[in-house]
Structure 1
Amino acid sequence: MKKYCALFFAIWVLVSCGEDVKPKPKGQLRLEYNSAKYEMFVSDCPFTFDKNTVVRIKQNADCGLELHYPKMKATVYLTYKKVNGDLEKLLIDAQKLTYEHVIKANDIAEQPYVNLRHKVFGMFYQVGGNAATNAQFYATDSTRNFLVGSMYFYAKPNFDSILPAADYIKNDMKHIIESLKWK
């Protein structure tokens, strides 16, 4: 009996001498989106821009727009203001809106935008981390028009989870500012 126990123990030691078993990592959701296709958005508002064809637009009073991305559960809010000698205040308010997210943000990257041909001047902000918004911008012609854009998701911010959708919408927001024309 001792021989069988010793033999069983020896076989067990030889068979079990492999690599440690490690649990598999959790699967990650892979989000891919079709390439963006754009069409010009024209309304009674004093500006036009190219919008993604997947966007549903809701127009509010005073030319405020909501660009809904139903599959991504996100909205880009565009707020229009007429400049009445208060450009400095509008710029401060737009910058303040962005920097309110500094508490949750890992970083905020600023990218100036200048289009002399169409008189569009602005700033594009990329907000890294678990902030409520991942991108914002403002654009102005410096004399009459001022437009602010902000992206928000319908869920608690988790930067890693929303990164593919946030990048897709950031590209759309950049396209908006690049195609923006004042009437």
Structure 2
Amino acid sequence: MKHKFLLFWLLAVGLFVFSSCKEDVLPKPMANLRLDYSEATYRTFDDPSCPFTFEVNSDGKIKQEKNCNLSVHYPKMKATIYFTLKPVNNNIDLLLRDAQKLTYEHVVKADDIIEQPFINKKDNVYGMFYAVNGNAATNAQFYLTDSTRYFVDCSVYFYAKPNFDSIMPAASYLRNDLQNMMESFRWKK
């Protein structure tokens, strides 16, 4: 009986010693992905066949389509800025309505849409910048015109299901690029 008690006692002590050597398992704290992008540096887009110039982020890869329509690709962000040039042929009202309609089609998913008029009398550039907040397909777009010859509309789209919380750092970065593009826009004489 003594031996059984001694054996039981040795097993209990051994079990206690070996089980106390393990480290406590602690849950890991919740974390969010941190997305940092390089500071934007801009270069001038000036194609001789196009009636305009503007500044574009050096990280963007420009692909030129016919009639000076452009797409600026941001592969790291999985986003593209689409830039479309249209002629004005006594149809400025229709072009303005179409641009506004395109923006307000996002109102279903957007939390709000902030309009910022843009007027540059010196260079004859007039338009509107739209900041679209929420889970809409685009988070920013603008249109510009000289009101007699040309009309440009521009918007940014991501290649992902719109979830504003997830894409917000990239969306803010590209919104700033789009605003810089609009503010640096000039018609050629």
The TM-score, its normalising length taken from structure 1, stands at: 0.86
Pairing 1:14-163 to 2, within 5 Å after superposition = 26-43=30-47, 44-163=49-168
Unaligned 5+ residue runs, structure 2? 1-26
- Which residue number corresponds to residue 16 of structure 2? none
In 1, distance between residues paired with 2:39 and 2:175? 13
SS of corresponding position for 2:63: strand
Residues in 1 aligned to 2:58 and 2:122: alpha-carbon distance in whole angstroms: 26
What is the match of residue 18 of structure 2?
A: none
Mean Cα deviation higher: 23-32 or 152-161: 23-32
Aligned to 2:185: 180
The CA deviation at 1:63 is: 1.2
Please give the secondary structure, in 1, of the residue aligned with 2:167.
helix
Distance (whole Å) between structure 2 residues aligned to residue 69 and residue 60 of structure 1: 17
- Runs of 4+ deviating beyond 6 Å: none
CA distance in 2, matches of 1:151, 1:25: 34
TM-score, normalising length: structure 2: 0.83
Aligned-residue Cα RMSD (Å) equals: 1.3
SS at match of 2:82: strand
The aligned counterpart of 1:20 is: none
Aligned partners of 1:104, 1:70: CA distance in 2, in Å? 25
Percentage of identical aligned residues: 61
Question: How far apart in 2 are the matches of 1:103 and 1:174?
Answer: 24
Q: Aligned partners of 1:73 and 1:106: how far apart in 2? A: 23
Number of aligned residue pairs: 162
SS at match of 2:107: helix
Partner SS state of residue 56, structure 2: strand
Deviation at 1:124, TM superposition (A): 0.3
Query: Are residues 25 and 86 of structure 1, via their aligned partners in 2, closer, same or farther at CA, if it must alter by over 3 Å?
Result: farther
Determine the C-alpha separation between the residues in 1 that align with 2:65 and 2:103.
22
